[in-house]
Amino acid sequence: MREEAPTLAEHAPVSTSASASLARSKKSRWFLYIIETERGKLYTGITTDVVRRFQQHKSGRGGAKFFRSDPPQRLRLSLSFGDRSCASKEEYRIKQLTRKQKLAYIDEKSGVCVLN
């Protein structure tokens, strides 16, 4: 039996606008996450896959430069958002907070009650 040759359409690259509309149609969830480093620093980011992103940061391959001198220790918080825009806006807002405010935010969102 002879196999048919693939058509050009099967190998044509998907245009940027087509891939963007395909991505929107999938309704992917975006997550905001906060990672604590070995020295206690807090890193805030967004992603569609928190586990994969944490592993990238730990391995140093594809992770942020932030972790080169202070490796990630644990995931402190992960919140789900409906789209990238909402996650990015919250990421920006959190990055403006002081460390103390970020820790209070983590406690509030994770339902932890802190006694002083």
SS3 readout for the chain: CCCCCCCHHHHCCCCHHHHHHHHHHCCCCEEEEEEEECCCCEEEEEECCHHHHHHHHHHCCCCCHHHCCCCEEEEEEEEEECCHHHHHHHHHHHHCCCHHHHHHHHHHHHCCCCCC
pLDDT at 14 over 70: no
Q: If you average pLDDT over residues 26-48, what whole number do you get?
A: 91
Give residue 33's pLDDT: 95
Q: Write down all domains in the chain, each with its CATH number in brackets.
A: 28-110 (3.40.1440.10)
Give residue 44's pLDDT: 96
pLDDT of 51-74, one tens digit each? 999 999 888 787 777 888 889 999
